[in-house]
Structure 1
Amino acid sequence: MSLSLSLLLLSLSLSTTFASLSLPSASPPPPPPPPLPGRFIKSNPPLSLRRGSPQQYIELTKPLPTDGTTPSCSVTLLRHTFANTAGSPPVASTYSPPTTCPPPWHSVVLEMRASSDGDQYDRVAGVWLDGAEIFRTITAEPDANGGFWTVRKNVTRYDSLLRRSNLTVTVMLENVVDDELTGAYNVDLALLYYQNYISVPSSRDSDHHKLGPKLGLLKEYRSVDFDNRERKLGFIDGELGVESEKLTDSASMYYSTTPADLIIPISNVPKEEGSWFRIEKGSDIGLREIQIPLNTSKAVLEVYVSFHGDDEFWYSNPPDAYIKKNNLTTVRGNGAYREVFVSVDGIFAGSVIPLPVVYTGGVNPLLWEPVVGIGSFNLPTYDFDLTPFLGMLLDGKSHAIGLGVVDSIPFWLVDANLHLWLDQGSSAVQAGVVNTQAPAVEIRRDAKFQHLDGSFKIGALRSSQFSGWVKTSEGNFTTQVFVDFKVKNTVSFKRKGTSKLVQQKVQAQTERRVVSEMGLMLSQKIIKRKYPLKMIAQARPSRLGGGIYLVETNVSHSLTETSDCGAADGASATSSLRNKQFSWGWMMVKDQFVLSGFANMNQTLSSKDEFGCFSRIVRATKGRIIGDLKNFTCP
């Protein structure tokens, strides 16, 4: 071999060796961090999350007066396994009232028992009776360990529906089952009926019957079966109930909290997507044409609402300018202000800022084991008094009731029930609208950001007034409704957008007055609500690599509600609810799947009403309750 050939072969060998030892070409950039806050799923839990037994989930709520007592009878509404039900029509059954304990009932409770084995997202579910929604819930988010839970809701307000026979019950729960999402939901629905109360003799039993429970001051009935519970709750028959006898019969219907005589669904035409209206954008309006009886003396619209998709965390959405400027692929924008409103023939009739319920798969699903977020299992409804609008509705013609969401993006699910009280002493009443003063919402926005970091502030204020008179067989009464709310919201990004802080404060007050023809204020009810929210979520790449992120989460939210009722004679009644929850933890995630993690939760609930006082303090860690203190004593 010649020298030149040897040098050439050596050169080729060295170049090949050095090429094999040289640095590789630039690797592709790591995947972006998960959206914050996000929706996650616990997939095939590793040792750090395995329990070896199904998880029982609970929501902390004040007890129902019927809890711990035996129902007089029950009716099964539905037993069904919701597996691969996405895109399928609702499951249907037929309802008739029980023959073993016919009406009247003192209370009726809807009970849902649910369970699942396998990985699954949280899902929204609704129950309709003859087209009227009576229950909306978010399922727990189970995993391979399995999970089960029970929810009870007082549905006595739907008494006029519950008395009817051969009604269609429909249940919507869209679920997906595939190779990754293996969990099917087993659901049992039943109605529990309570007849145990017996009438208390009274020298003025007729007046007592009309006014006692309607003011919430004195129980109309007592039950031998309930005596022990009444003592335990500290319930005392109040002297105020006796004083309520001073009120005139003509005012009784306006104090009434008894169930309505008629319920008209304000829902979509039943179809595969269910009976709720699907709101995709701010200009969408769910409309239902209705015609009400001419002897309607009072009207209250009960609204169901839930938020999903790109608006599940609407209170944390940045403005579109931030998304566009940073070339982000997310469409979770349009700012952090949402307002649910109702209309009558296109005229604004009231609005509400919805409670920011965090669903069981939201932010960090480990935070909601075993205690779920406030309102998750029994989503709140919102009442709008439409009595001032009876002057428009009582003409024998059809009228449009509308539902919408300001600034919404896909998607919201809304529908409603119109509860009507009828004047039994007249076939028709006269009514007139006095005032519909509803100035546009005052809203200010302030956005400051540079690249991915910045802050976005929103302040909003709205004050509305509605009044109208109704002349019935019992007299001429004017109903005045005052609705006010104030919102402050701040969304802040730090660390190149990987750390997010959300702070929101909502204060709302609704006042309802009933005034006689002579100008005497017969009744006044004021409801005040506060529901602040603080959420922190930050993500950073894990040392494990492979697109795994460490996400730290902190959620603090609460609901405070007080109700004060008063009458012209000085009679009054109050109630209060305070529910505060603080959760924090971390999780290792890849894409939307939780690989491991840790969470702590503290929650305090206290309530006081005509049934007495209740408080409960719960602490949980690693998916287990480590402290649970209940108290039925009034402070």
Structure 2
Amino acid sequence: MHPSLLLLLLSLLILLPFSAASPPPFQRYPLPSARRSTIPPQTQIEVTRPLPFDALTPACTLPLFNHTFAHTSGLPPSAANYSAPLNCTWSNAVLHFSAAANGTQVDRIAAVWLAGAELLRTSTPESTPDGVSWSFTKDVTRFSALLSRKNLSLSVMLENTVDEFYTGAFDVNITFLFYNIKNSSIHNRRSLNSSPRKIIRNQRRQSAAINASLELDQIPADLIIPVSAAGEEGYWFKIQTGNDAVYQGIQIPNNTYRAVIEVFVSAHGDDEFWYTNPPDFYIESNGLNITLGHGVYREVLVTLDDNVVGSVLPFPVIYTGGINPLFWDPIVAIGAFNLPSYEIELTPFLGILLDDKKHYFGFGVADAISFWLVDANLHLWLDDGPVKVQAGPIKYKNPNNCVERESSFAQLNGKFETEGERKTEFSGWVYSSAGNLTTSVTTKLEFENEINYKSNGTIVKVEHEVKVKKQIQISLPSSGTVASFSVESKYPLELKTTSVAGSGPDNYLVSTELEVSYQEEKKIDHFQSKLTNKQECSGWMFVHGEDVLSGAGATSQTYTVKDSLGCYSRKVSADEGAVVSDNENFLCSAGVVSGSSA
């Protein structure tokens, strides 16, 4: 990722009190080295729930990738040959990512692909001459169809710049851990062998077909097809404007009985903090010399043959240089190491796809400015029985969205409100060895954003919230609903920034308060779960010209998940670059979600 803005609000705060001849906006710069030199380098962490099999010994371990990313700007991804481990029976797979850097460096975006399918999107911490290190794991069992193969290319993209100022290089290691989970209380999955195997046994076909429509991790797909770019500059598509549209033609096997597209997306450059962007008319009216703008509404659209079949309102992942870089040392922002992917059920559209022809999957980002990185994986479940798979549509509700905007401003003071909503309803039938199953998918997306500028633009407050409701039902003509899945998620963000002019030219004291969270409630038949992940941050920066000279940041995070398999909570606080408290609990308290594993 080329150096983007240090933070959108900081650029506005610097520019707003001035005319169009103001100095250029701040760019992203590393942590002040004077601050870090007094603190021993620490391991950076992203707070999340440990994987259920972390305490188990892997059935086999595959160290695969070791590379130093120095000056890699403009170069293709680095690659290694992947083959599944021999003589290893496994049911679950984990990607272990570890890295370190020495020298001054800003955060960079990175991704890992296997045969062109994205396994992981991540970002790096900022680094000073004192160095930085970090590691994390990701459950990649959903990619079993790829991980069980041999002679595939594992590609890693980390576009880094090394020069007289940015001196840091990133040493990256990737290892795959394979586990054989026999205890169904940990996870109800079948064992896989490294050799090609049949995913679905005939005697289990109907049960598997039904349960497969619940979550990708329960019964992984039989085939994964990447929907991605050529790979010379990474396998992601780069979207520069709201008018950009990218496509890939794919013909799927005619024995497919279920399809899901998994979308990876990240925002960069002028749109990195899209949820704080002012409208263009505000910028033009005040003669501001900034490239940010186009308002706050962004929606990632997924199309099939130019028809919208789903969309994503992205979670606002904050990279480690964002808002105030001192917030994210050593606790990084939610999703910074493991950016979320988004799943869209395409089974109702198999009536279109199962015609032995190529169909075009496309992506766009509504109202985007430069730039967004988007790609996807198409997960397909195949029927290996004697029955010819047939499919047809039942219902397609045109997924029109509604966006309303209100504004009121006088010079640099003003208030801007944006609300958006999209509701989709799709259903279709699939006749396979499992019977005649109807899959119905209902999704509702809601968006609210309000930006207030006060005190001649030196005080900026942003309130941003997205709500997502999704429900999937599978039914048989004879017995009605046989399986269901529902999830409700919400991710609010509140941000307040105040700037005060310093005694000298181009000197500013900027104080910031931030609260961001991800909340999710999920139901899969009798299985229920509830997740709350919340961060609260406060701090200040003293800025001269384009340099952050000094500052402070404090972050507290509460992560709580309760489900039918147990509970986990962790509360961590950091101040001045050091963890001051860290409490972890695996015990359930009152109000635990009840139920049994599906």
> Do the two structures share a fold, i.e. TM-score over 0.5?
yes
Write the distance in 2 (CA, Å) between the matches of 1:551 and 1:411.
Answer: 27
What corresponds to 1:601 in structure 2? 555
The answer as to 2:30 corresponding to 1:42 is yes
Of 424-433 and 478-487, deviating more is: 424-433
Larger helix proportion of the pair: 1
Q: Is the 2:31–2:326 Cα contact (8 Å) retained in structure 1?
A: no
How far apart are residue 44 of structure 1 and its match?
Answer: 5.4
What corresponds to 1:191 in structure 2? 176
Residue 499 to residue 390, structure 1, CA distance change in 2 (3 Å): same
The answer as to 2:539 corresponding to 1:585 is yes
Alignment of 1:79-94 (within 5 A): 79-94=66-81
Write the distance in 2 (CA, Å) between the matches of 1:610 and 1:425.
Answer: 34
Write the distance in 2 (CA, Å) between the matches of 1:340 and 1:297.
Answer: 26
Q: Is the 1:59–1:374 Cα contact (8 Å) retained in structure 2?
A: yes
How far apart are residue 624 of structure 1 and its match?
Answer: 0.7
Q: Which amino acid is the alignment partner of residue 352 of structure 1?
A: V
Write the distance in 1 (CA, Å) between the matches of 2:122 and 2:209.
Answer: 32
Residue 123 of structure 2: which of 138, 147, 160 is its match? 138
Residue 295 to residue 221, structure 1, CA distance change in 2 (3 Å): closer
Write the distance in 1 (CA, Å) between the matches of 2:189 and 2:399.
Answer: 42
Alignment of 1:43-122 (within 5 A): 45-46=33-34, 48-99=35-86, 101-103=87-89, 105-122=90-107
Q: Is the 1:33–1:540 Cα contact (8 Å) retained in structure 2?
A: no
Residue 385 to residue 337, structure 1, CA distance change in 2 (3 Å): same
Write the distance in 1 (CA, Å) between the matches of 2:315 and 2:176.
Answer: 27
What corresponds to 2:8 in structure 1? none
Q: Is the 1:604–1:616 Cα contact (8 Å) retained in structure 2?
A: yes
1:207-262 alpha-carbon deviations (Å, 9 max, x no partner): xxxxx79xx9x74589xxxxxxxxxxxxxxxxxxxxxxxx9963431212211000
The answer as to 2:453 corresponding to 1:497 is no
Alignment of 1:403-482 (within 5 A): 403-426=363-386, 428-482=388-442
Write the distance in 2 (CA, Å) between the matches of 1:33 and 1:553.
Answer: 22
Residue 519 to residue 287, structure 1, CA distance change in 2 (3 Å): farther
Write the distance in 2 (CA, Å) between the matches of 1:623 and 1:166.
Answer: 43
Alignment of 1:137-176 (within 5 A): 137-176=122-161
1:402-460 alpha-carbon deviations (Å, 9 max, x no partner): 11111111000000000000112146310001122134111110011111111110011
Residue 483 to residue 539, structure 1, CA distance change in 2 (3 Å): same
Instruction: Tell me which structure has the larger Cα radius of gyration.
Output: 1
Write the distance in 2 (CA, Å) between the matches of 1:341 and 1:451.
Answer: 35
Residue 361 of structure 1: which of 309, 312, 321 is its match? 321
Alignment of 1:250-329 (within 5 A): 250-256=206-212, 257-271=218-232, 273-329=233-289
Q: Which amino acid is the alignment partner of residue 539 of structure 1?
A: S
What corresponds to 2:529 in structure 1? 575
Residue 426 to residue 335, structure 1, CA distance change in 2 (3 Å): farther
Write the distance in 2 (CA, Å) between the matches of 1:610 and 1:520.
Answer: 25
Of 451-460 and 490-499, deviating more is: 490-499
- Aligned pairs, number: 556
The answer as to 2:520 corresponding to 1:561 is yes
TM-score (norm. length: structure 1)? 0.84
Q: Which amino acid is the alignment partner of residue 615 of structure 1?
A: S
What corresponds to 1:551 in structure 2? 510
Residue 532 to residue 308, structure 1, CA distance change in 2 (3 Å): same
What corresponds to 1:399 in structure 2? 359
Q: Which amino acid is the alignment partner of residue 594 of structure 1?
A: V
Q: Is the 2:260–2:346 Cα contact (8 Å) retained in structure 1?
A: yes
How far apart are residue 621 of structure 1 and its match?
Answer: 0.6
How far apart are residue 52 of structure 1 and its match?
Answer: 4.6
What corresponds to 1:615 in structure 2? 569
Residue 126 of structure 1: which of 111, 116, 120 is its match? 111
Of 301-310 and 48-57, deviating more is: 48-57
Write the distance in 1 (CA, Å) between the matches of 2:505 and 2:412.
Answer: 24
Write the distance in 1 (CA, Å) between the matches of 2:122 and 2:108.
Answer: 8
1:176-234 alpha-carbon deviations (Å, 9 max, x no partner): 11111111111111111112x337xxxxxxxxxxxx79xx9x74589xxxxxxxxxxxx
Q: Is the 1:44–1:119 Cα contact (8 Å) retained in structure 2?
A: no
Write the distance in 2 (CA, Å) between the matches of 1:30 and 1:396.
Answer: 57
Write the distance in 2 (CA, Å) between the matches of 1:249 and 1:70.
Answer: 31
Q: Which amino acid is the alignment partner of residue 57 of structure 2?
A: T
The answer as to 2:583 corresponding to 1:629 is yes
Residue 319 to residue 84, structure 1, CA distance change in 2 (3 Å): same
Residue 87 to residue 533, structure 1, CA distance change in 2 (3 Å): same
Q: Is the 1:563–1:576 Cα contact (8 Å) retained in structure 2?
A: yes
Gaps of 5+ in 2: 1-17, 192-202, 213-217, 590-598
TM-score (norm. length: structure 2)? 0.89
SS at match of 2:33: coil
Q: Which amino acid is the alignment partner of residue 170 of structure 1?
A: S
Write the distance in 1 (CA, Å) between the matches of 2:27 and 2:425.
Answer: 39
Residue 276 to residue 532, structure 1, CA distance change in 2 (3 Å): same
How far apart are residue 519 of structure 1 and its match?
Answer: 5.9
Write the distance in 1 (CA, Å) between the matches of 2:154 and 2:173.
Answer: 13
1:490-538 alpha-carbon deviations (Å, 9 max, x no partner): 1111222222111011111000000112360111111000100001122
SS at match of 1:178: coil
How far apart are residue 333 of structure 1 and its match?
Answer: 0.6
Identity of aligned residues (%): 44
What corresponds to 1:4 in structure 2? none
Gaps of 5+ in 1: 1-27, 200-211, 223-246, 567-571
What corresponds to 1:207 in structure 2? none
Q: Which amino acid is the alignment partner of residue 349 of structure 2?
A: F
Write the distance in 2 (CA, Å) between the matches of 1:111 and 1:34.
Answer: 40
Q: Is the 1:112–1:190 Cα contact (8 Å) retained in structure 2?
A: yes
